[in-house]
Amino acid sequence: MLDSLGLQGTTEAVYRAMLRQPGITKAEVAESLGLADADVRQALDVLGDLALIRRSWYDPSTLLPVHPEAGLKAVLTKRQAEVARLQQEIEAIQAEAAQLVADYTSEFFLSNGQELERLSKVEEVRHRLNDLVDTVEDETLSFAPGGPQTPENRAASRPLAVAVLSRSVSMKTIYLDSIRNDPDSLEHAQWLVSMGAETRTTPYLPTRMQILDRKTALLPLDPEDSSKGAVLVHEQGIVAALCAFFDTVWRTAAPVAQAKPRNQSPFSPQSRQLLLLLSQGHTDEVAARKLGISLRTERRMISELSERLGAKSRFQLGQRAGEMGLLNPS
């Protein structure tokens, strides 16, 4: 019954015998269960390792069973910690494998085809993007993660926006919800709307992305570090898939010109996304960066979620969130 906790056959039988008759000797256990002394000693060693037995305070030579409620709770807690550690190891291996596959795929296509352009330097990316913006005819679609923008980024983007919008080109940009808490970034997004662009926000964006005329897409080589350059995609099958992805996110994002729609769930989309990121093994720092919020805000959100879910540990928080269906991508 308790095999999964390490109490197999003989060990469980010995433990139950000690629970029925506290203070029973090794010889008496062996006799009552028909076991060899060596088997009883081995079972007691296992029970000791699991902290399910202890020595009597009055007679150290006497072994007593720990109450099942306390003993098995300690065993379960230990196993939960082991499961959490193994899960983290598995996720780390998966992440490394995914990165290896991505690196191989990128290098293969970049070296064997003409449908992808690799831009290794930030200056190359800026010049190429400026050239593309000058020739765009119908629309631009953009993911802009990273949360509140710096004054330099806002100032640099305005001339490009004016140049595009003055030609009656449609411009759609999706930011993170966190810009709504930054007056300057929100004002910039509203300025774009006043110029004729459309801007929306969402709790989470996986990467920076810009699509021009639904024919060309610009993606960072490393989603976590845009300074490493970008790849320009011309392959129409890939671009079409990226456009479909953008359209899906756009439909569920909230227009900046309006207040964020009231969430029917007691847990905001941003809170659910935070729980999902943590369940995937991301650190607090990475989760905060992906949501475009400060580390202090991220930890405050975790504290509030833990209190609302009655969780006393990160492991328990993930467990409760899973039980409530909060880890399903919204």
pTM confidence score: 0.52
Beta strands in the chain, from DSSP E residues, in sequence order: 53-55, 63-65, 116-119, 139-144, 170-176, 198-202, 209-212, 216-220, 230-233, 254-255
Reply yes or no on whether the pLDDT at 195 is more than 80.
Answer: yes
Domains of the chain in start order, with CATH, are: 6-66 (1.10.10.10), 115-255 (3.30.870.10), 269-323 (1.10.10.10)
User: Which range among 9-18, 51-60, 114-123, 236-245 has the greatest average pLDDT?
Assistant: 236-245
- The 10 Å CB-count burial string (b at 16+, else e) for 88-127 is eeeeeeeeeeeeeeeeeeeeebeeeeeebeebeeeeebee
Q: How many helices and strands (H and E) does the chain possess?
A: 12, 10
Mean pLDDT confidence for 226-233: 85
Mean pLDDT confidence for 61-73: 73
Residue 44 · residue 26 · CB < 8 Å = yes
Percentage of residues in the chain having pLDDT higher than 70: 85
* Average pLDDT for the chain: 80
Residue 252 · residue 202 · CB < 8 Å = yes
Residue 227 · residue 259 · CB < 8 Å = no
**Distance (Å, rounded) from C-alpha 93 to C-alpha 205?**
23
Instruction: Report the pLDDT value the prediction gives residue 250, as an integer from 0 to 100.
Output: 92
Question: How many C-beta atoms lie closer than 10 Å to residue 215's C-beta?
Answer: 16
Residue 224: Cβ-neighbour burial (10 angstroms; 0-12, 13-18, 19+): exposed
Residue 289 · residue 296 · CB < 8 Å = no
- The 10 Å CB-count burial string (b at 16+, else e) for 268-304 is ebbbbbbbbbbbebbeeeebbbbbbbeeebbeebbee
pLDDT digits (tens, 9 = 90+) for 153-190: 777 778 888 888 888 889 999 998 888 888 888 888 88
Annotate 138-184 with DSSP letters as a single string.
SEEEEEE-SSSPPHHHHHHHHHHHHHHHTTT-EEEEEEEGGGGG-HH
